[in-house]
Amino acid sequence: MSSSAAQGVSTPAKLSVIPQHVAIIMDGNGRWAQQRGLPRLAGHRAGTENVRRILRACVEYGVKILTLYAFSTENWSRPREEVEGLLALLSQVIDRELDELRRNGVQLRHLGTLEGLPDNLQRRIREAIAATAAGDRIIVNVALNYGGRREIVEAVQRMMKDGLTADQVTEQALASYLYTAGLPDPDLIIRTAGEMRLSNFLIWQAAYAEFYSTPTYWPDFGPEELYQALVAYGQRVRKFGGLPPSGVSQSQ
C-alpha cells in the first residue's frame, strides 16, 4: 500500500490528530446505482471496490483500526434477490482480495454472527480470519450480519451462562463480552449518504465517538473525503462528559 494510494491528498503528517479507530457506515450504494439507471447490486459492487481505496488511505493516514458496516441484521428484510446478490458479492470480494490483504499486514476480524449466512460464505470468512491473523499493520473489522442490540443481548446471555453475579456486571465486564472485546472503542464514526443516525451500529461502543456525516454516497467517498473527515475530527474537543482540557476553548 504505497503513498500513491492517496494521490492528491495531503499527507498524514499534516493531520493534527489521527483517530486510532475509525468506523464507517457505508450507506448510499443503492441510491448511487439508481441515479445512474443501474440495478442496486451494481451499487453494492461499486461500494466493495471503494473499500480498497479507503483501506489504503487509512493505512496511509495512520489509522490502526477500521470497522466497516457491511450487512446488518435488519438487511435481511430487503428483497431476496438483492440480499443473495450482496452475499455472493462478499464471497467474491474475499476470494479476490485475500492474498493482497495478507501481504499488506491487514488483520481481518468479523463482528456479528455467522449463523444464517450461506455455508460457503461462513467458510470463506473463517478462512480469511485465520489467514490474516498475523497482520500487524491495520485491523479491519467487518460488521456482517451484525446488530448492536443483538450484540448486547448475546453478551448478557454469555455473562449469565458464565455465572457472573450482579455485582460482577460492570461496564468493563460487559465490554469484554462484546464482539469488539480487546479493542478500543471507535474514536470517529463516519456515515455516508447524508443520514444522521447510527442504525444499530456499535451502539455500546459509540457512546463517546465523534460523528461525521457526509451527503456523498459510499462509492464516491474517496481518500480526499476521508481526509476531510479526519481534519474535522482533529478540530473536535473530546470531553467525555467532563470539561475541556485546560487552555481549550469551550466553543471548540
Three-class DSSP category at 24 = strand
pTM of the entire structure? 0.90
User: Is residue 249 domain-resident?
Assistant: no
- Distance between CA atoms of residues 216 and 211, nearest Å: 15
- Distance between CA atoms of residues 82 and 41, nearest Å: 6
Active site residue 50: no
Residue 26: domain span: 19-234
Q: What is the DSSP letter of 195?
A: -
pLDDT of 125-154, one tens digit each? 999 999 999 999 999 999 999 999 999 999
User: Is residue 2 domain-resident?
Assistant: no
63 exposure class (CB count in 10 Å sphere: 0-12, 13-18, 19+): buried
User: Is residue 224 domain-resident?
Assistant: yes
- Distance between CA atoms of residues 103 and 2, nearest Å: 13
pLDDT at residue 249, as a whole number: 58
Catalytic residue among 29, 50, 75, 119: 75
pLDDT of 84-104, one tens digit each? 999 999 999 999 999 999 999
Computed over every residue of the chain, the mean pLDDT equals 92
User: Is residue 144 domain-resident?
Assistant: yes
Share of the chain above pLDDT 70, in %: 92
For residues 159 and 169, is the Cβ–Cβ distance under 8 A? yes
User: Is residue 156 domain-resident?
Assistant: yes
Number of domains in the chain: 1
Contacts of 223 (CB under 8 A, 6+ apart): 5, 6, 8, 9, 53, 54, 56, 57, 60
pLDDT of 182-202, one tens digit each? 999 999 999 999 999 999 999
pLDDT of 38-58, one tens digit each? 999 999 999 999 999 999 999
Q: Residue written as cell 476480524? A: 109
Active site residue 75: yes
User: Is residue 133 domain-resident?
Assistant: yes
Statement: residue 4 has pLDDT above 50: no
**Amino acid present at 100:** E
User: Is residue 182 domain-resident?
Assistant: yes
CATH number at residue 174: 3.40.1180.10
For residues 146 and 71, is the Cβ–Cβ distance under 8 A? yes
User: Is residue 23 domain-resident?
Assistant: yes
Higher pLDDT, 43 or 239: 43
